[in-house]
Amino acid sequence: MYLGHFSLREAPFSITPDTDFFYPHEGAQASLNMLLVALRSGEGFLKVVGELGCGKTVLCRQLLKNLQGEFVTAYIPNPDMGPDDLLLALADELGIAIEHPVQRHAVMNGIGACLVQHARQGKRVLVCIDEAQAIPVRTVESLRLLSNLETEKRKLLQIVLLGQPDLDTKLARPEIRQLLQRITFSEYLGPMQLDRVPVYLAHRLSTAALDESTDTDLFTPLAAAVIAKASGGVPRLINVLAHKSLMLAYGEGVHQVSAEHARLAAADTHGLKRPPSWWQRLRAAWVRRSSVFRDAKGNAL
């Protein structure tokens, strides 16, 4: 790897959700602020919808990190399970012993008793459900039942759903509109602004630096601009392109990433929104021009 070459102690552009590398760009900070304020105010159901690769999981982990000591927390990374399995997963996260044979009623009672005990001790309980768009419709009812657990003064369980835009589509279905009505605050997490990408790159390099003497200005302004445009500001794609660019620079034995390195990295990366070729632009212009010379019935004039 190139770590020694660039005086780094760890990989700066890993796509694993490491909170040490959390970068609070405008969208991420707005989402985190909303969650912190709403949860501390006692809101029961919250939702964050984000595009693929925009940092929902690292946002979730940063939230849990910020609330450490304030809340008893549970994290469910994959809710693609049946109603009973979801309850069992929550019980396991909360450290609740479940007797066999497992009965749904007993699991609900165990969760309820645990939440009441925490409430008496002045502790709030939060469950974060990542990739929430994967929740089967038949499992949503379990979430609604959990949200019913409350005293006269407060919710016993606060729930945060984090998912891709498909989550909004699922929640809009008529049969689960009762759950949608319980969501009090929502936030959208999108790509970062392109002019923040150079700062993001420097932030990741600084976090991974071996010591204070490490040069964190490894990307030329033009290289950072190429990465910003090619990635569209999506953090995961930025990381992939930056990692490949550093590999190319290392392979050439140089200590700075050029625009050419970034272009080569983009050409080798799938999933990018590439600009249309000259042929695609010419064809689109021809189609637009041809449509002008047609009558109301679509016949050529």
Structure confidence by residue, pLDDT tens digits, 205-240: 999 998 888 888 999 999 999 999 999 999 999 999
**3-state class of 165 per DSSP?**
coil
Hey, is 128 helix, strand or coil?
A: strand
Round to whole Å and give the CA distance between 157 and 145: 11
Residue 22: CB partners within 8 Å, gap ≥ 6? 28, 58, 59, 62
Indicate if 97 and 234 belong to the same structural domain.
Answer: no
pLDDT class of 16 with cuts at 50, 70, 90: very high
Q: Coil, helix or strand for 238?
A: helix
What pLDDT does residue 277 have?
52
Whether 260 has a pLDDT exceeding 80, the answer reads yes
Provide the 8-state DSSP code for 19.
Answer: G
272 and 42 in contact (C-beta within 8 Å)?
A: no
Our CA angle for 67, 73, 79, nearest 5°, is 125
Average pLDDT of the segment spanning 59-65: 96
Tokens at 48, concatenated: 């964050």
Do 40 and 171 lie in a common domain? Answer: yes
Residue 277, in any domain of the structure: no
Domain check: are 29 and 84 in the same one?
yes
Bigger pLDDT: 176 or 54? 54
3-state secondary structure of 44: coil
Per the prediction, the chain carries an average pLDDT of 89
The count of C-alpha atoms lying within 13 angstroms of the C-alpha of 262, restricted to the half-sphere facing its C-beta, is 24
Whether residue 66 is contained in a domain is answered as: yes
| Strand intervals (E) in the chain | 45-50, 71-76, 124-129, 158-163, 183-189
CATH code assigned at 110: 3.40.50.300
- What value does the mean pLDDT take over residues 153-172? 91
Residue 255 has pLDDT above 60, yes or no: yes
Residue with more model confidence, 18 or 280: 18
> How confident is residue 298, by pLDDT bands cut at 50, 70 and 90?
low
Considering only the C-alpha atoms of the chain, give the largest distance between any 2 of them, rounded to a whole number of Å.
Answer: 80
CA distance from start to end of the chain = 64
135 lies in a domain? yes
**Over pLDDT 70: what percentage of the chain?**
90
Q: Tell me, yes or no, whether 243 and 135 share the same domain.
A: no
Domain total of the chain: 2
- Tell me, yes or no, whether 239 and 146 share the same domain: no
Structural domain includes residue 299: no
2 in a structural domain: no
How high is the pLDDT of residue 286? 64
Residue 167 and residue 249 share a domain? no
Do both 56 and 117 map to the same domain? Answer: yes
Q: How confident is the model at residue 114 (pLDDT cuts 50, 70, 90)?
A: very high
Asked if residue 127 belongs to a domain, the reply is yes
One domain, residues 177 and 208 = no
* pLDDT for the residue 166: 92
In a domain, residue 166? The reply is: yes
Indicate if 58 and 90 belong to the same structural domain: yes
Same domain, 231 and 182: no
Last residue within a domain, chosen from 157, 189, 221: 189
For residue 200, name the pLDDT band (cuts at 50, 70, 90).
Answer: very high
Query: Which of 158, 189, 220 represents a domain boundary (last residue)?
Result: 189
146 and 28 share a domain? Answer: yes
pLDDT surpassing 90 at residue 54: yes
Tell me the residue range of the domain where 149 lies: 24-189
**pLDDT at 34 exceeding the cut of 60:** yes
Tell me, yes or no, whether 70 and 172 share the same domain. Answer: yes
Buried (b) or exposed (e) across 166-202, using 16+ Cβ within 10 A?
ebeebbeeeebeebbeebebbbebbbbeeebbbebbb
Q: Which of 172, 189, 206 is the last residue of a domain?
A: 189
Lowest-pLDDT range of 99-103, 104-108, 293-297? 293-297
Say if residue 27's pLDDT is above 60: yes
Model pLDDT for residues 269-289, shown as the tens digit of each residue: 987 765 555 555 566 666 666
User: How far are the Cα atoms of 265, 282, 284, 289 from residue 278, in angstroms, in the given order?
Assistant: 21, 6, 10, 16
Cα 12 to Cα 43: distance, rounded to the nearest angstrom:
36
CA distance 191 to 140: 28
